[in-house]
Structure 1
Amino acid sequence: MATIAARLIPRWLRQYQFSILPTDVVAGLVVGVLVIPQSLGYAVLAGLPPVYGLYAAIVPVIVYAWIGSSNVQAVGPAAVTAIMTASALHPYADQGAEQYVLMAGLLALMVGALLWLAGQLKLGWIMQFISRGVSAGFVSGAAVLIFISQLKYLTGIPIAGNGLVGYLSSMLMYARQLHPLTLLIGVSAFTLMVMNRYGKQWVWQSWLSPTYAKWAERLFPLILLGIAIILSMSLHWTTKGVATIGSIPQGLPTFTLPYLPDFREALNLLPTAGLMALIAFVSSSSVASAYARLRGETFDANRELTGLGLANLAGGLFQSFPIAGGFSRTAINVDSGAKTPLASLVTVLVMVIALIAFGNALAPLPYAILGATIMAAIIGLIDVTTLKSAWQRDRLDAASFIAAFIGVLVFGLNTGLIIGLMVSFASLIWQSSQPHVAIVGQLADSGHFRNINRHDVITYHNLLIIRIDESLFFGNSEAVHRRVLQATQQYPEAHEIILIMAAVNHIDLTAQEMLSTLNKELAIKNKHLHFSFIKGPVMDIIGETPLMNELTGQVYLSTIDAVDALKGI
């Protein structure tokens, strides 16, 4: 029984120290209060009634707090998963709100199942293959689309589409439906939000202490929400054509059986569900692993997959849409003093209270305020800094960023991500096919050997020492073969060719055949091929092959041994 209890009760709760209870409670209260407007806005972004943003911040958060890998990550509705939900379910928008809600729950179930299955298969390593350029380009492109999509709430124009062209064309087509009062409310709120977020040194820090300025900045969206509700009621904005969220149903999310689609519908949703699962995992694990390093904790990517998967599965059964770890809410959670997932459970309590007690109070809130909130928050996700850094240091990663960014804007989220991944993998293949091969010489009287183009080294007229800095496989074997032959033509007097294999961790069959051919070609020219510093696992592979049986030279333990033995020949 004790073993079963230990498995069911998470370690953080079994080892909980009550001395940190006050900080967890405060952090949970702060996050819960501050993300209410954000949660409502993300539900609207997903094409759902606002209340579903609060639903998505209850059951999935409880499950992740119990099972997830991070002690401080705050999961819930996220901008990228919200807009991907809207994009995936766009064909169902005309089939009624009830059908759309059920499809959103189904999508959460599919995302959760894929994440959970990936966790069981120990696929956490897949995160390593999503380059920084691809993820940053995708998120930046999605941020631009999110920003533009919210213009319909600030203008009253029914903007729709999957890409930039679709959004802009629909805006031009229905421009006459612009609602001046809605535009005034939305632009005013957006301006105030931007000033609060990016002009805090003038708005707050010029007259408040750093501590009070920080809290003023965080509380401002909530204060603005309250002011908008009061103005909407007193000035009767609803009767003047301003769209408001209306009465929010009171009560908690209920257990809802998933919608069972036909095979074709499920097949159509599966690619989007797979991409959403990938993005949710990458974004969540990035946040969780970063804070784990800062806190000196371990991060288990497979446990993160399992926790995030079960959170989405549970959410899909309790009126949620796909969720992920949130950058901003996690930062607030940590900065407010959160130590354990208990803070997230307190946040859930705040959401429950909001649903039970304050549903009717939110009814007069204009959609324009929610749109402005999302637009102001989303600007920070347009990652210009990463693009500049990649352009200066790694043009291939910059190309992946640009490909993902433009692909998302032109073709939509799913196709844009695939384009970015294809460019990233193409650059990886290109890099692998261009291995670094250096001609080296000896540093003074030491046993070290360095590139002759970078260091003042000693060379020997009868020796050509070449260092191969990559593993050898079918993708780069021809490039290595060509580079070695070019070096022998450049130094025709050298008849002893030494290949330093210290950086070679594997030699596949194609590369073995290439080396055998090279050995024969050098022998025809009265040159001998030698190897130095072959690792044990590599020697296990090539030890009994024709390459070693027909080798015209020798295999040396170290390069200095090879030089000492051959320089006098």
Structure 2
Amino acid sequence: MPSIAARLIPIWLRQYQLSALPTDVIAGLVVGVLVIPQSLGYAVLAGLPPVYGLYAAIVPVIVYAWIGSSNIQAVGPVAITAIMTASSLHPYAAEGAQQYVLMASLLSLTVGVLLWLAGQLKLGWIMQFISRGVSAGFISGAAVLIFVSQLKYLTAIPIAGNGLIGYLSSMQMYAQQLHPPTFIIGMTAFALLVANRYGSKWVWQSWLSSSYAKWAERLFPLILLGVAILLSISLHWTTNGVATIGSIPQGLPTFTLPYVPNFGEALNLLPSAGLMALIIFVSSSSVANNYARLRSESFDANRELTGLGLANMAGGFFQSFTVAGGFSRTAINADSGAKTPVASLMTVVVMIAALIAFGNALAPLPYALLGATIMASIIGLVDMTTFKSAWQRDRLDAASFMAAFMGVLIFGLNTGLVIGLMVSFASLIWQSSKPHVAIVGQLAGTGHFRNINRHNVVTFSNLLMLRIDESIFFGNSESVHRRVVQATQQYPKAHEIILIMSAVNHIDLTGQEMLISLNQELLVQNKHLNFSFIKGPVMDIIEHTQIITELSGHVYLSTMDAVDALKDTYSPII
């Protein structure tokens, strides 16, 4: 049995090869430098002072690098957790900056505890119950809200609200407070960032090689940040009424106890924390699992839950707000050559250097640039491709997308997600309540049986064979009963009814009662009920029930055995 020290040292560190160190160091430095403005912006998006974006990229990142399941996932402040933090703590915004900061740390701690508990309870499987439509609709709706919410930094209009209607109403109400210099700065930065992100083919690739163009695109936001600081100083933007972030406190985040709420406050915070934990797990796991698959590495969903949970718990005591795996920063980390979590630890070194040495240098940075940075980066999260694909292939998933999307825009993040989940589960129940029950016949000369409406098959005058393509439970038992009765009326000469159970994985109590009643109804009509292909686990459930003990027909190992035993004359289906 390994010693305690050995168990505390992660496997990746025990197996670390020094040949990976140069690429890890470079990747960590690149990610650290490039996400500084992004981290500052996400803190502002969360309603916190900008420095808390750097705080959130230190202790939680160290903890996840040590414990998390992914070798290259870059954890830190992200747009979704930032906007959900602001939405969840909106009632506390008026109670003072210090109270709000402590509540943000408490929210991080609460989310962390929920994620950690889920990991200990092995609830990693839960991510498969969030449909693609719901997750894409939620993220797309959140992206639109984030985009609109940042207009307050580009216009100086005090926009506020919980949904799109609230934001637009407040914008209209206070439109006269538009500050032209701020608007010009913000819109110019936004236009440049959008051109850089989505027009790289014309902006960079027209005169640079592909490798240089890629780095030019990545470094441009950082260059723009530097130019904005220089212009702010030389043109005295602050004295002209342009809001800047001001001096950033130098020094590392300190150990701070989160706010201890009363019972009512804790209860109010719990639903928001639960939804945040769910979204963090689903989004982070999707990123980590995708890269693990591309790199032929293993992925443990329960370990991911534990890693994310402990990262947020630790952050809650070191002035952090809720963090998650980032789509863009993980992509940069991978593209820059990261091999192990050493790259994330190097990113922490960059953040520490920024806090110790560059706090005053960032003071003239206008909030308008941070807002423009978030707006430009968030556009790509509006996932209309998934909606178009769902509309073409699965209208129910498209409905789930629209429910989550519109729910978020109208009612806010938490309610919107719940609406999307409810529509998704309702769609699942609706699909299950209408099981496919096919009348089948035999493919001539074979032991295979297929749908009579799709294949040229042989049927037998005294047999009616039906394949049930769904488990039988309380939500669909009446539909199965109705379909079987309709089929017997359609083929009145068939007095041997064979239910093919190859696709039935479970029969609940309601389903069992339906089959018992069906057997009795058929017997009154001088018809016999038979089964074929009952799976072992299903037979274990029904073997000693009236379904089998009072069955008017027989149970056959295969449909071919049933046909050989029961067939009379036959006639081909034309």
Q: Between the two proteins, what is the percent identity of the paired residues? A: 82
| Aligned-partner Cα distance in 2 for 1:330–1:536 | 45
2:244 corresponds in structure 1 to: 244
Instruction: Give structure 2 stretches of 5+ with no counterpart.
Output: 570-574
| Aligned-partner Cα distance in 2 for 1:72–1:469 | 42
Q: The residue matched to 2:252 in structure 1 has which SS?
A: coil
| Aligned-partner Cα distance in 2 for 1:112–1:501 | 45
**Does 1:508 pair with 2:518?**
no
| Aligned-partner Cα distance in 2 for 1:2–1:280 | 32
* Contact kept? 2:529, 2:551, Cα under 8 Å: yes
Matched letter for residue 316 of structure 1: G
| Aligned-partner Cα distance in 1 for 2:214–2:78 | 23
2:394 corresponds in structure 1 to: 394
1:342 corresponds in structure 2 to: 342
In the TM superposition, 1:313-352 aligns within 5 A as 313-352=313-352
Deviation string, structure 1 residues 306-345 (Cα, Å, up to 9, x no partner):
1100000000100000000100000111111111111000
1:427 corresponds in structure 2 to: 427
Q: Which moved more, 1:454-463 or 1:139-148?
A: 454-463
| Aligned-partner Cα distance in 2 for 1:54–1:68 | 20
Deviation string, structure 1 residues 173-212 (Cα, Å, up to 9, x no partner):
1101000000000000000111111111111111111100
Q: Runs of at least 4 residues of structure 1 off by over 2 A? A: none
Q: The residue matched to 2:440 in structure 1 has which SS?
A: strand
Instruction: Give structure 1 stretches of 5+ with no counterpart.
Output: none
Deviation string, structure 1 residues 105-147 (Cα, Å, up to 9, x no partner):
1111111111111111111111111111111111110000000
| Aligned-partner Cα distance in 1 for 2:507–2:546 | 14
| Aligned-partner Cα distance in 2 for 1:512–1:277 | 38
**Does 1:194 pair with 2:219?**
no
| Aligned-partner Cα distance in 2 for 1:527–1:99 | 75
Matched letter for residue 270 of structure 1: L
1:112 corresponds in structure 2 to: 112
TM-score for both structures, normalised by structure 2: 0.98
1:5 corresponds in structure 2 to: 5
**Does 1:523 pair with 2:552?**
no
| Aligned-partner Cα distance in 2 for 1:122–1:560 | 43
1:58 corresponds in structure 2 to: 58
In the TM superposition, 1:90-105 aligns within 5 A as 90-105=90-105
1:284 corresponds in structure 2 to: 284
Q: The residue matched to 1:526 in structure 2 has which SS?
A: coil
Matched letter for residue 299 of structure 1: F
1:160 corresponds in structure 2 to: 160
Q: The residue matched to 1:441 in structure 2 has which SS?
A: strand
2:257 corresponds in structure 1 to: 257
| Aligned-partner Cα distance in 2 for 1:543–1:316 | 54
1:34 corresponds in structure 2 to: 34
Q: The residue matched to 1:475 in structure 2 has which SS?
A: coil
2:449 corresponds in structure 1 to: 449
RMSD value, Cα: 0.9
* Contact kept? 2:89, 2:100, Cα under 8 Å: yes
**Does 1:373 pair with 2:373?**
yes
Question: Per-residue deviation at 1:103?
Answer: 0.8
1:270 corresponds in structure 2 to: 270
| Aligned-partner Cα distance in 1 for 2:120–2:312 | 15
2:572 corresponds in structure 1 to: none
1:229 corresponds in structure 2 to: 229
**Does 1:459 pair with 2:459?**
yes
Matched letter for residue 248 of structure 1: I
2:485 corresponds in structure 1 to: 485
* Contact kept? 2:461, 2:568, Cα under 8 Å: no
Q: The residue matched to 2:339 in structure 1 has which SS?
A: coil
Matched letter for residue 33 of structure 1: V
Matched letter for residue 560 of structure 2: I
* Contact kept? 2:460, 2:568, Cα under 8 Å: no
Deviation string, structure 1 residues 503-531 (Cα, Å, up to 9, x no partner):
11111121111111111111111111111
Matched letter for residue 189 of structure 1: A
Deviation string, structure 1 residues 522-567 (Cα, Å, up to 9, x no partner):
1111111111111111111111111111111111111111111111
Matched letter for residue 397 of structure 2: D
Deviation string, structure 1 residues 343-387 (Cα, Å, up to 9, x no partner):
000000010011111111101000000000000000000010010
| Aligned-partner Cα distance in 1 for 2:58–2:461 | 75
Deviation string, structure 1 residues 69-98 (Cα, Å, up to 9, x no partner):
111100000101100111111111122111
| Aligned-partner Cα distance in 2 for 1:303–1:85 | 24
1:71 corresponds in structure 2 to: 71
1:124 corresponds in structure 2 to: 124
How many residues were matched structurally? 569
Q: The residue matched to 1:297 in structure 2 has which SS?
A: coil
Matched letter for residue 407 of structure 1: G
Q: The residue matched to 2:297 in structure 1 has which SS?
A: coil
Deviation string, structure 1 residues 428-481 (Cα, Å, up to 9, x no partner):
111111111111111121111111111111111211110001111111111000
In the TM superposition, 1:281-320 aligns within 5 A as 281-320=281-320
| Aligned-partner Cα distance in 2 for 1:304–1:465 | 48
* Contact kept? 2:466, 2:499, Cα under 8 Å: yes
| Aligned-partner Cα distance in 2 for 1:212–1:19 | 25
2:140 corresponds in structure 1 to: 140
| Aligned-partner Cα distance in 2 for 1:89–1:514 | 51
| Aligned-partner Cα distance in 2 for 1:386–1:510 | 37
TM-score for both structures, normalised by structure 1: 0.99
**Does 1:567 pair with 2:567?**
yes
| Aligned-partner Cα distance in 2 for 1:538–1:473 | 12
Q: The residue matched to 1:339 in structure 2 has which SS?
A: coil
* Contact kept? 2:408, 2:416, Cα under 8 Å: yes
* Contact kept? 2:447, 2:560, Cα under 8 Å: yes
| Aligned-partner Cα distance in 2 for 1:498–1:134 | 40
Matched letter for residue 171 of structure 2: M
| Aligned-partner Cα distance in 2 for 1:278–1:31 | 26
**Does 1:356 pair with 2:375?**
no
| Aligned-partner Cα distance in 1 for 2:419–2:453 | 38
Matched letter for residue 193 of structure 1: L
Deviation string, structure 1 residues 10-62 (Cα, Å, up to 9, x no partner):
00000001111111111101100110010000000000010000000000000
| Aligned-partner Cα distance in 1 for 2:508–2:2 | 51
Matched letter for residue 215 of structure 1: W
Matched letter for residue 209 of structure 1: S
Question: Per-residue deviation at 1:568?
Answer: 2.3
| Aligned-partner Cα distance in 2 for 1:208–1:396 | 46
| Aligned-partner Cα distance in 2 for 1:144–1:281 | 21
Q: The residue matched to 1:459 in structure 2 has which SS?
A: strand
1:546 corresponds in structure 2 to: 546
| Aligned-partner Cα distance in 2 for 1:406–1:115 | 27
1:180 corresponds in structure 2 to: 180
Deviation string, structure 1 residues 225-255 (Cα, Å, up to 9, x no partner):
0110011000000000000000111111010
2:404 corresponds in structure 1 to: 404
* Contact kept? 2:29, 2:346, Cα under 8 Å: yes
Matched letter for residue 518 of structure 1: L
| Aligned-partner Cα distance in 1 for 2:547–2:101 | 64
Matched letter for residue 345 of structure 1: L
Question: Per-residue deviation at 1:2?
Answer: 5.3
| Aligned-partner Cα distance in 2 for 1:529–1:388 | 45
